[in-house]
A and B are shown apart, each in its own frame.
Chain A
Amino acid sequence: MEMNNLVVLPIFVPLLTAVILMFISKKINIQRWISVGASLVTVMIAGLLVHHVSTDGIQTLDIGSWPAPFGITLVSDMLSSLLVLTTSIIGFAVILYSIYSIGEGREKHFYYPIVQFLIVGVNGAFTTGDIFNLFVFFEVMLMASYVLLVLGGTKIQLRETIKYLTVNVISSSLFVIAVAYLYSIVGTLNMAHISQRIGLLEEIPGILTVIAILFLIVFGLKGAIFPLYFWLPGSYYAPPVPVMTLLGALLTKVGIYSIARTYSLFFYHDQSYTHDLLLVLAVVTVLIGVVGSIAYWDIKKIIIYNIITAIGVILYGISVATTTSMTGSVYYLIHDMIIKAALFLLIGIIVNITGTSNLKKFHGLINDYPVLAWVYFIAAISLAGIPPFSGFVGKWLVIQGGMERGELIGSVIILLTSLLVLYSVMKIFIYGFWGGKDQDYPDQHSISYNKLLIPAILLTVIAVLYGFGSEFVYSYVAQAVDTLMNPEIYIEAVLKE
């Protein structure tokens, strides 16, 4: 395998775009179209990367020509390249949506460059093969998210950003501490090399479990697993919808990806403590998410709590750690990123029309907005995993994997909570869309309404295709899971032994 600069392009293109956009922060129209164009280019590059990985295996790039394990190596295996592709698609859709909804004030204050920086961070975190570099990309991503969260400077935004920032600064310090401990044992930072060195240890030292839990805390805070989800509902509620979509669809998933990566690459030797803990946490996370999404009558909150439910389902598959459950998790991870983004955008349109996110204050939207209603319906049943829509395959495999391992209780809970997820999103459909029309909404939004629908429909269509084409997707997912289940493949590709 020779060097391949294609690996770095999904990071480099948004970075260069962000810098260029910073120069023209006052020219909104040019900014918009450069953003759209660049994110489209990123999507195409990411697609090409997936194709390369599927035909030629794992692609690596030794940054600055420093050979692995001495320098930083970027590694695109199937999992990371699929996630990079998904991220780029969501980035494209959100930018398209932002053009008609984010408002000139934010656009003039570096909104578009910061969105690109966020994508740099997320794509980088998915791609890097170096544990400290992962920390750096986390920080890029977080820094962008702080600014996006507070941009606009309303009171609720300031208040929530202060909390969000405090939580994440502490978790970043924990990340550095965990890396320091890990370094003291293995003396390397290259993830493949760490995995190899841990494999060579005669006896797995107890401190490795401590490190595993430290990493779980760090990534769990980002991924919002129980009991570290407490900051999420408040923080994600504060910013405008496009920002909420980016954070909700991407950031938590980076945390989950990092758990999957480190637990399959470093901490797979002694699973008795760590993976059992993960299993319990996953089930509780699902329950918390479901309770929240049923209890609230605020449509934003309902979808936000559904993020937590999905995190639990994905984590459950990772903790069971069989090929079947991992396949389910990867399926569900990508599905959830797309469908959550679609749902957030649709919720945004509803709020845009009605001027409120309180479900008790509006109904009968289907009379005036039939397209919105039916797109929402499709997205909702996709989320709930009604076959053959996209959530089904992933959840089914996760549950099946759990059953195979004899984890009956957890699997049954996840199966039953699917019904409650369905109820929580159908609640919006029944109360918000059905019923007689008894109020007129101000018509000033009608111009942008159709344009706002385009990205939401785009994402929903992708989700539907993802569901109906799961046979086609399977070969890609299988390749991703193969690497997760067999760390040797990853190690060989990076260290070229």
Chain B
Amino acid sequence: MELLMAILIGFLFASATYLLLSKSILRMIIGTGLLSHGAHLLILTMGGLKKGAVPIVNGDGTPVTDPLPQALILTAIVISFGVTALFLVLAYRGYQELGTDNMDELRGTDGNE
């Protein structure tokens, strides 16, 4: 199972890198989304994919799943939700003001003379 997860995470990272290298801002946003999905799965895998019960300790010694990775992922999801939303609004506003979503045309030189 760990191997499968590793391949999946690698695939997500690869796709994310490909998308991030493209020039369209919209593709880049999707890329950042995939990147954070990969990172979340990585936390889950690194925490150990155990087959335990829900993490409420009964005191009878039954194995429980490590609750921490889940808490981390939830936090990370909330944060990436916020950042992605902001990025979308920014890209949209940028498109309105600058008239392009092509990163090539966003090369700025003013202030660099």
Contacts and interface: CB of A to CB of B under 8 A. Distances in A.
- Same assembly: yes
Bin chain A's interface residue count.
35 or more
A434 interface: no
A179 B43 contact: yes
B32 A136 contact: no
B18 to A, nearest CB: 14
B94 interface: yes
A63 interface: no
A71 to B, nearest CB: 11
B47 A183 contact: yes
B9 to A, nearest CB: 9
B43 A180 contact: yes
B90 A173 contact: no
Contact of A155 (B48, B75, B90, B98): B98
B86 A173 contact: no
Contacts, number: 105
Contact of A158 (B38, B43, B90): B90
B46 A180 contact: yes
B110 A156 contact: yes
Nearest to B43: A180
Given A136-B79, A189-B68, A180 B42 contact: yes
A173 B39 contact: yes
Contact of B32 (A173, A238, A298): A173
Nearest to A154: B97
A136 B79 CA distance: 8
B52 interface: no
Contacts of B38: 173
Nearest to B109: A234
A300 B112 CA distance: 11
A170 B29 CA distance: 11
A163 B108 CA distance: 11
Interface of A: 132, 135-136, 139, 142-143, 146-147, 150, 153, 155-156, 158-163, 165-166, 169-170, 172-173, 176-177, 179-181, 183-184, 189, 233-234, 237-238, 298, 300-301
Given A158-B93, A162-B25, A166-B32, 16 more contacts: A139-B82, A143-B83, A153-B93, A155-B98, A162-B94, A162-B103, A163-B106, A165-B83, A166-B20, A169-B32, A176-B36, A176-B40, A179-B72, A180-B46, A183-B68, A298-B113
